[in-house]
Amino acid sequence: MPDGSVRVVGHGSRFRRSRRSELMIWWREIDRFLLALILMLVVIGCVAVAAASPASAQRLSTAKKSLGDLYFFWIHLRWVAVGLVAMFIASLLPKETARRGAILLAVAMIVALVLVPLVGSEVKGAKRWLWIGFSLQPSEFLKPGFAIALAWVLSWRLRDPKLPVIPITVAVMALVATLLMAQPDFGSTVLFGGVWFVLVLLSGLPFNRILWSMGAGLLGLVAAYLFYPNATNRIDSFISGGSEFDQVDLAMRTLLNGSWSGAGLWLGSRKNALPEAHTDYIFSVVGEEFGLIACAVIVLLYCAVALRVLMRLLDEDDLFTILAAAGLTAQLVGQAFINILVNLQLFPSKGMTLPLISYGGSSTIALLLGVGLLLAITRRNPYLSREKFDIADLVRK
């Protein structure tokens, strides 16, 4: 065999060993328990979309185009596959690379939000999507970038306490809120505001500044109710009854129709009347077909995700890591509980999906990308604490 061919094989072998070594390092450093929780939610989501798909497909079928019962399920599987690849690639990134990539993503999506009112696609009276060969919802991809970008800005305080980090984050939040409310998208505005508040709360600011932040948030909600028709209509409809209340009431009755054990897969009847069974009200479909016990399992899984991240951060001393991980978790779990509270008739309808469970294109990919960034940021060497112990022991000796 010629010498050149032997060298090529050798390079290929070394490359394969290098890739295998990198994957082994990734597997040691990744939070495998958190990854397992996320994958459980994704699997439950696929089953839930399969349960809700017939109801939505029948409602959206027309005389010219009849959708198959599992139409949304098959499409959802494709988006989940793309999202899992994005999650895996993001989780491989070093922390600094993940931070830079997320900040660039946030900037790109803010620019996209500026373009949405000008050239965006309108669906049900709202412009939230851009057509770039496929339908892209910039606000969904902004979520992980927003949390990490704010965490980065707030972490500047450690280098120079005099830096105006709060005014900068307030300006960013105000810009994002303005762009979202122009669509209109009041639900996402509330979620972004909640993530901003969590990060400000955890950044170590003096208590009086935190009180000022809380006051500003409450003032913003009051102003939105008084001067922003979308918020006014949703809140009034929820309080006094109306189309929004009727949907939420129907979702609640659908949720309770399955009792504790559920009617069984594809055996639910009330779900057929839900307007967005496969997205906004999929939690109610789960309740009807799989029972309240299944709903409780979903709630516990979201709580477990939050607790797992908290436990991971207990001995973390890097402020950026703490804030970024907390922000990404607050975004994921906060959106989940807003959706669940809507289905329980405890919150006005927001048009917000149940993370990792509802059908979605942009939302599914963006959420799994955010999980990948969370896994990348919380990666750590499992032998680091042991090495620190050994060094301290040697010093004492």
Higher pLDDT, residue 62 or 200? 200
Token pair recorded at residue 326: 């907390």
Q: What is the mean pLDDT of residues 140-164?
A: 90
Q: Which amino acid is at 120?
A: G
Examine the pLDDT at 397 and tell me if it is beyond 50: no
For the chain, give the longest Cα–Cα distance.
84
Separation CA 60–CA 39 (nearest Å): 30
Residue with tokens 């660039």: 104
pLDDT in tens, 287-337: 999 999 999 999 999 999 999 999 999 888 889 999 999 999 999 999 999
Task: Give 358's Cβ-side CA count (13 Å radius).
Answer: 26
Examine the pLDDT at 59 and tell me if it is beyond 50: yes
Examine the pLDDT at 242 and tell me if it is beyond 70: no
Separation CA 274–CA 207 (nearest Å): 45
Phi-psi region of 384 (alpha: psi -120 to 50; beta: other; left: phi over 0): alpha
**pLDDT tier at 390, thresholds 50, 70, 90:** very low
Q: What is the mean pLDDT of residues 140-166?
A: 90
Examine the pLDDT at 33 and tell me if it is beyond 60: yes
Please report the pLDDT score of residue 238 as a whole number. Answer: 66
Please report the pLDDT score of residue 383 as a whole number. Answer: 57
Separation CA 12–CA 27 (nearest Å): 22
In this structure, the number of other CB atoms found within 10 A of the CB of residue 221 comes to: 15
Q: pTM score, two decimals?
A: 0.87
Separation CA 248–CA 256 (nearest Å): 13
Q: What is the mean pLDDT of residues 63-81?
A: 86
Q: What is the DSSP letter of 267?
A: -
Whether residue 184 is preceded by a cis peptide bond, meaning omega within 30 degrees of 0, is: yes
Please report the pLDDT score of residue 62 as a whole number. Answer: 67
Separation CA 43–CA 244 (nearest Å): 30
Residue with tokens 């294109």: 361
Residue with tokens 């329980």: 344
Please report the pLDDT score of residue 45 as a whole number. Answer: 96
Beta strands across the sheet bearing 121-123: 121-123, 126-131, 135-136
Domain boundaries, the chain: 31-379
Examine the pLDDT at 370 and tell me if it is beyond 70: yes
Please report the pLDDT score of residue 3 as a whole number. Answer: 52
**pLDDT tier at 365, thresholds 50, 70, 90:** very high
**pLDDT tier at 387, thresholds 50, 70, 90:** very low
Q: What is the mean pLDDT of residues 178-207?
A: 86
Instruction: Specify burial of residue 153 (Cβ count, 10 A radius: 0-12, 13-18, 19+).
Output: buried
Examine the pLDDT at 63 and tell me if it is beyond 60: no
Please report the pLDDT score of residue 364 as a whole number. Answer: 94
Q: Which distant-in-sequence residues (6+ apart) come within 8 Å of 306 by Cβ?
A: 329, 333
Poorest-confidence range of 11-15, 27-31, 236-240, 333-337?
Answer: 11-15
Examine the pLDDT at 273 and tell me if it is beyond 80: yes
Separation CA 371–CA 334 (nearest Å): 14
What does pLDDT average to over the chain?
Answer: 84
Separation CA 358–CA 285 (nearest Å): 11
Poorest-confidence range of 51-60, 125-134, 237-246?
Answer: 237-246
Q: Which amino acid is at 318?
A: D
In this structure, the number of other CB atoms found within 10 A of the CB of residue 194 comes to: 16
Poorest-confidence range of 98-102, 112-116, 382-386?
Answer: 382-386
CA-nearest of 43, 37, 44 to 308 is 37
Q: What is the mean pLDDT of residues 179-197?
A: 89
Q: What is the DSSP letter of 107?
A: H
Examine the pLDDT at 373 and tell me if it is beyond 90: yes
Examine the pLDDT at 210 and tell me if it is beyond 60: yes
Separation CA 77–CA 70 (nearest Å): 11
pLDDT in tens, 120-134: 777 766 778 888 777
Please report the pLDDT score of residue 125 as a whole number. Answer: 64
Examine the pLDDT at 389 and tell me if it is beyond 50: no
